[in-house]
Amino acid sequence: MKNEIDNIYNQAISVIEKITNGEALEALRVEYMGRKQGKLTLLMKNIPDLSIAEKREIGPLINKVKNALTIAFDKKEKTLGQITNSENSFFDITLPGEKFNIGTLHPITQVRLQVEKIFQKMGFEILNPNEIDDDYHVFTSLNLPPQHPARDMWDTFWTENDLIPITHTSSMQNRAMKEKTPPFGVIVPGRCFRHEATDAHHEHTFYQVEGLYIGENINLSHLIGTILTFLQEYFQKELRYKIQPSYFPFVEPGLEFLVSCVMCDGKGEKDKIPCSTCGHSGWLELIPCGLTHPKVIEMAGLDPKKYSGFAWGMGLDRLVMLKYGIEDIRHFHAGDLRFLKQF
């Protein structure tokens, strides 16, 4: 029996060495070590018939052979696996590469960067607003004391501790005047929040770009010149403009800056179809603005007899919509890649 065990071991080892694929190896494993009919298993079934002395010799020998074969099979299996992997890892440099989807800047971000560049060229500095601010900066410092009825013009969100997700970027006016020495110009691009029933032109979350210039002897011509220069540079078009009275407690006079419609060139219609962008009027109400109210200047610690200024607050989303002919503001935050991939 000892010889038989040696033979089985030697045969198995020599065949394992020659094997070249996993299937043949598995078949061989069953042939020698299979639980029912394996050659080694069958030998083990004879052990109960042996004498005690033989049992002591044969039992450990079979176990030793069994362990040695298990190791040989496992080793061969690993070797075959490595060969297969290296065959699979053949790299064909002629195949087209994997396509990576690289994101792009959101259209609002793209336009914000353009707007910032234009105003920087005109000497304006960029200030970032606090997205959550206090009552003083959002309202009181802008000549809107508590209980002022004009506060109703803003559908404001409040936090539980009486702070405000800013309703407009005018919230930085007081800080800018306190921090800077006139003459200075700043723009404040930022995200605003209002309790709005959303529609094609209104979102609860949108963007504004505030502008503030403070110096001496500032008048409406400075305001008009600045805004017109910006709009012509932004739309790359000669635009006609008109201004009409408006009301904001932090400017006096308060104005609405209108430009000839960029979609229909101020004609009110395009190809004989009424222009829906300007409501057939040929004019776009684009930028609320005005000369800074003396009280606002005074509240920032500056002398309103010496200093004057102008300010505006334009909707950035509106500028993007007009530039690219986007009909509904709600596309911006819908997360629809079909929309976003166009920019």
- Contacting residues toward ligand FA5, per CB under 6 A: 168, 170, 194, 196, 202-203, 206, 208, 210, 248, 251, 288-290, 311-315, 317-318, 329
Q: Which residue is nearest to ligand FA5 (CB)?
A: 315
Q: Which of 112, 138, 139 lies closest to 126 in space, CA to CA? A: 112
Helix, strand, coil percentages in the chain from 3-state DSSP, rounded to 5: 45, 20, 35
Q: Which of 190, 226, 210 lies closest to 296 in space, CA to CA? A: 210
Task: Report the residue number, 127 or 289, with the smaller CB distance to ligand FA5.
Answer: 289
Contact status, residue 69 vs residue 32, Cβ threshold 8 Å: yes
Compute the least distance from the CB of residue 91 to ligand FA5, in Å: 52
Report how far apart the first and last C-alpha atoms of the chain are (Å, whole number): 83
Contact status, residue 168 vs residue 179, Cβ threshold 8 Å: no
Compute the least distance from the CB of residue 273 to ligand FA5, in Å: 25
Active-site residue (options: 186, 188, 311, 320): 311
Strand 251-260 with 241-246, pairing: antiparallel
201 catalytic per annotation: no
* Cα–Cα–Cα angle for 85, 91, 96, rounded to 5 degrees: 135
Task: Report the residue number, 38 or 129, with the smaller CB distance to ligand FA5.
Answer: 129
Q: Which residues contact 144 (CB under 8 A, 6 or more apart)?
A: 150, 151, 249, 250
Task: Report the residue number, 116 or 256, with the smaller CB distance to ligand FA5.
Answer: 256
- How many Å is the Cα radius of gyration of the chain? 40
148 catalytic per annotation: no
Compute the least distance from the CB of residue 246 to ligand FA5, in Å: 8
d(CA 298, CA 228): 28
Tokens of 20: 């070249």
3-class DSSP assignment, residue 127: coil
318 catalytic per annotation: no
As a whole number of angstroms, the longest Cα–Cα distance in the chain is 122
Tokens of 184: 């200075």
Task: Report the residue number, 165 or 313, with the smaller CB distance to ligand FA5.
Answer: 313
Compute the least distance from the CB of residue 327 to ligand FA5, in Å: 14
Task: Report the residue number, 119 or 312, with the smaller CB distance to ligand FA5.
Answer: 312
168 catalytic per annotation: yes
Active-site residue (options: 29, 208, 300, 320): 208
Task: Report the residue number, 19 or 314, with the smaller CB distance to ligand FA5.
Answer: 314
Compute the least distance from the CB of residue 322 to ligand FA5, in Å: 10
Active-site residue (options: 112, 137, 194, 293): 194
Contact status, residue 124 vs residue 186, Cβ threshold 8 Å: yes
Q: What is the DSSP letter of 199?
A: B
Active-site residue (options: 154, 259, 293, 331): 154
Compute the least distance from the CB of residue 166 to ligand FA5, in Å: 10
Is 196 annotated as belonging to a binding site? no
Binding site, residues?
A: 252
Binding site for Mg(2+), residues?
A: 252
Residues belonging to the active site: 154, 168, 194, 208, 251, 311
